[in-house]
Amino acid sequence: KGLVTEVNEKKATSNLANIGAYGFASGTLLRSFIQEVLDNPEDSSAEHMYFLSNVINRMLHRGHPFVANLAEDCAQCGTPQKLEQFMDLVSAGKALTQP
């Protein structure tokens, strides 16, 4: 486990990647930071898209720590085909066998 110092969206800055799973200490805290980002258009990308990384970086800069947990493996489920392949592995008992 290590402390996260910054989250970058769509650009490689290390050999580590985020699988997109986050946990937050408080839904209320998260919501307040999301609202701050929405209220500040300069925090969006050039295409006026908002990313959770904007929210997390704002939280980090205000002293809210994030811890990274390294995963030995992950399942790619970004397309219907990949999700179906993963579900077949789960059904066959070949995935998610360890807690």
The string of pLDDT tens digits covering residues 34-67 is 999 888 877 666 667 788 888 999 999 999 998 8
Same domain, 91 and 52: no
- For residue 40, which amino acid is it? N
Same domain, 47 and 85: no
Same domain, 93 and 61: no
CA distance 32 to 28: 6
Across the range 14-23, mean pLDDT stands at: 73
CA distance 27 to 63: 17
The residue segments making up the domain with residue 57 are 2-68
Q: Are 50 and 43 in contact (CB under 8 A)?
A: yes
Same domain, 29 and 56: yes
Same domain, 17 and 34: yes
Across the range 68-75, mean pLDDT stands at: 77
Question: How many other CB atoms are there within 10 angstroms of residue 59's CB atom?
Answer: 20
Same domain, 22 and 39: yes
Same domain, 77 and 63: no
Q: Which of the pair, 98 or 82, is modelled with greater confidence?
A: 82
Dump the DSSP string for 28-88.
HHHHHHHHHHHH-GGGS-TTS---HHHHHHHHHHTT---EE---S-----SSHHHHHHHHH
Same domain, 24 and 58: yes
Same domain, 62 and 90: no
Same domain, 59 and 97: no
What is the number of domains present in the chain? 2
Across the range 77-85, mean pLDDT stands at: 89
